[in-house]
């Protein structure tokens, strides 16, 4: 990488070659002809493979004393150049040209373009191990039924995609990631109304095609027909007490900016799927019909890790951040203390 710096005077006072023609050019803010010739010649010299790494020159220009940056393409060994103009303390401009060149063994891969191969391999290995354990019945599966909210509007579809992205990011950072699945993708690929954004369309903005999880086109009762199912819904009369290996626990993929009570319960009962609700009543009062997808998943992941529902609810980050924070009233001292601890402003 080479650098070229040129300090200039905006009024041409240091340029002995300034002429009347240059003064006319300056009047229209285009810079003097000599400045353009000097800058072009210096840039050509800097882009040569045999040039030194730093060169300085002085030329006249009347470009206003504000910082400006542009990127130009180059040829031969130079793959690109970044040109930066900045004001100096002496009422002038500093021109900095940064050239990106190929190495002796061919093009060098820019650091920003390098994929974190070790991290990606670790995430893929952990996801594959979780999927294998779920297939063998050694662990449970957490499935999001995206077909449930297929008729949502653009705002709700984007909010759901944001929550699912946070779920995936939270899961892959766990020491033992859970087996994730998305079902109902056929319905989620269809907009609720012409011209609206579908759930899958909103997920495309998060690059979800690269996520390591199970994808099912049909609804969960068809995708997991060979194993027990439990639909998690706040309207269920039954309380979830444990997470059993080999069971698929379904979370309705819906963002309810307007209350939609009984939707997931009705869908589950219509297809003969057992239902349960999370054991929140002993630990917290939620002034909202249902938890967010992120909060629900974090509580399940916390219980899978520690086996204590109170601790799982208390330590779920989404319970202490917007939008859930304003709906939550803790019943225990531990919960109130956790609410006072520093937290991110918003997770979903």
For domain 115-277, the CATH class is alpha beta
Q: Cα separations (Å) of 167 from 30, 80, 297, 330?
A: 53, 39, 7, 23
* Helix, strand, or coil (residue 101): strand
Phi/psi of residue 323, each to 5°? -90, -5
pLDDT of residue 340: 58
Could you say which DSSP state residue 66 is in?
Answer: S
d(Cα 24, Cα 58) in Å, to the nearest integer? 20
* Helix, strand, or coil (residue 2): strand
pLDDT of residue 334: 65
- Domain segments of the chain: what residues? 2-101, 115-277
Count other C-beta atoms under 10 Å from residue 270's C-beta.
9
Tokens 């997991």 found at:
224
pLDDT of residue 328: 85
pLDDT of residue 212: 92
CA Rg, the chain, in Å?
Answer: 30
Question: Residues 6 or more apart from 284 whose CB is under 8 A from it?
Answer: 313, 319, 328, 329, 330, 331, 335
Is 277:264 a contact under the CB 8 Å cutoff? no
Is 348:166 a contact under the CB 8 Å cutoff? yes
pLDDT of residue 100: 67
pLDDT of residue 134: 87
Residue 8: asked if its preceding bond is cis (omega within 30°), the reply is no
Strands, E assignment, 221-325? 229-232, 248-252, 274-276, 284-286
Burial class (CB in 10 A: 0-12, 13-18, 19+), 150: buried
DSSP 159-190: HHHHHHHHHHHHHHTSSSPPEEEEE-HHHHTS
pLDDT of residue 45: 39
Residues in the chain: 348
pLDDT of residue 346: 42
Both tokens of 325, joined, read 């924070």
Averages of pLDDT over runs of 10 residues in the chain (348 residues) are: 46 44 40 41 39 38 41 50 73 74 56 60 84 87 91 90 95 93 93 87 93 94 94 94 95 81 90 94 81 94 93 90 83 64 47
pLDDT of residue 101: 65
Question: Residues 6 or more apart from 175 whose CB is under 8 A from it?
Answer: 305
């Amino acid at each position: 990488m080479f650098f070229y710096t040129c300090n200039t005077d905006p009024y041409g006072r240091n340029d002995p070659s300034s002429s009347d023609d240059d003064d006319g050019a300056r009047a229209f803010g285009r810079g003097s002809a000599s400045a353009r010739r000097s800058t072009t010649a210096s840039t050509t010299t800097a882009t040569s493979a045999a040039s030194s790494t730093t060169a300085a020159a002085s030329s006249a220009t009347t470009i206003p004393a504000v910082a400006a940056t542009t990127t130009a393409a180059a040829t031969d060994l130079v793959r690109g150049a970044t040109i930066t103009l900045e004001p100096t303390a002496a009422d002038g401009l500093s021109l900095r040209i940064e050239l990106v060149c190929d190495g002796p063994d061919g093009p060098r891969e820019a650091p920003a373009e390098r994929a974190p191969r070790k991290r990606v391999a670790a995430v893929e290995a952990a996801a594959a191990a979780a999927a294998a354990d779920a297939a063998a019945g050694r662990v449970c599966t957490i499935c999001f039924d995206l077909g449930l909210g297929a008729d949502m509007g653009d705002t709700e579809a984007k909010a759901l995609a944001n929550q699912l992205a946070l779920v995936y990011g939270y899961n892959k950072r766990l020491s033992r990631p859970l087996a994730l699945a998305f079902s109902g993708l056929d319905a989620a690929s269809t907009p609720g109304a012409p011209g609206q954004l579908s759930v899958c369309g909103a997920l495309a903005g998060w690059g979800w095609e690269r996520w390591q999880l199970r994808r099912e086109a049909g609804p969960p009762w068809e995708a997991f027909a060979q194993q027990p199912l439990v639909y998690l819904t706040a309207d269920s009369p039954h309380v979830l007490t444990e997470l059993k290996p080999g069971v698929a626990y379904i979370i309705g993929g819906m963002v309810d900016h307007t209350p939609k009570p009984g939707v997931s319960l009705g869908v589950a009962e219509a297809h003969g799927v057992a239902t349960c609700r999370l054991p929140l009543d002993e630990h917290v009062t939620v002034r909202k019909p249902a938890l967010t997808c992120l909060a629900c998943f974090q509580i399940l992941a916390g219980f899978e890790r520690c086996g204590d529902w109170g601790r799982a609810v208390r330590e779920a980050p989404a319970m202490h951040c917007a939008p859930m924070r304003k709906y939550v009233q803790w019943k225990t001292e531990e919960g109130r203390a956790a609410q006072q601890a520093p937290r991110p402003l918003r997770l979903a």
